Amino acid sequence: MTAGKAARRPRSAPAAGPDVAGDTGIGDTGRGETRRGAGLVLAHIGADGGVALDRVAERLGLSKAQLAEMMGVRPETVYRGDRARARKTQARATELLEIVGRIADWAGGERQALAWYRAEPIAAFGGRTAEALVKDGRAGAVRDYLDHVATGGFA
């Protein structure tokens, strides 16, 4: 960077700040810290203690088939109770909600955050989207990236 020129924040990066995702302070990571975006997850916990996929789809304005596609699972997975409660399905739903919840404030709302999640290429990951990374089991890398940018790091 040359003198007098300010660094530009890439489109895929959230604005820096301590409260990028409206951290509710809820959601234990098991390491004595809280997960940002956990409030959105907790808002969708059903009576059985798992993420209620029908409520997630409704809140995000998606059909269950669209939600399944975003999570990288077959559509019948979200319709069948036993499959909807499976560990992989619940993990993918939780990861999606955590990431969308983290970025909802800087994106302008949950629907805008969902659009970012699905379509915005992240340069730090070779132009892959958050959705593609979560489908490949790399949600932790997306969360780390968002934490890095939130604390003032470059995207």
- Per residue of the chain (155 residues), give pLDDT as tens: 444 444 444 444 444 333 333 333 334 444 433 455 667 778 788 888 899 999 999 999 999 999 999 999 999 999 998 999 999 999 999 999 999 999 998 899 999 999 999 999 999 999 999 999 999 999 999 999 999 988 887 76
CA 13/CA 24 separation, integer angstroms: 21
Domain ranges of the chain: 38-150
The confidence score (pLDDT) of residue 38 equals 67
The confidence score (pLDDT) of residue 120 equals 95
Alpha-carbon dihedral 58, 69, 103, 110, rounded to 10 degrees: -20
Which tokens belong to 125? 């990951």
The confidence score (pLDDT) of residue 89 equals 94
The confidence score (pLDDT) of residue 3 equals 45
Q: Are 96 and 71 in contact (CB under 8 A)?
A: yes
The confidence score (pLDDT) of residue 42 equals 82
CA 108/CA 112 separation, integer angstroms: 6
DSSP secondary structure of the chain: --TT-PPPPPTTSPPPSTTTT---S--B-SSSSB-TTHHHHHTTB-TTSSB-HHHHHHHHT--HHHHHHHHTS-HHHHHSHHHHTSHHHHHHHHHHHHHHHHHHHHHTSHHHHHHHHHH--BGGGTTB-HHHHHHTT-HHHHHHHHHHHHTT---
- What lies within 8 Å, CB to CB, of 143 at 6+ separation is 35, 36, 98, 99, 102
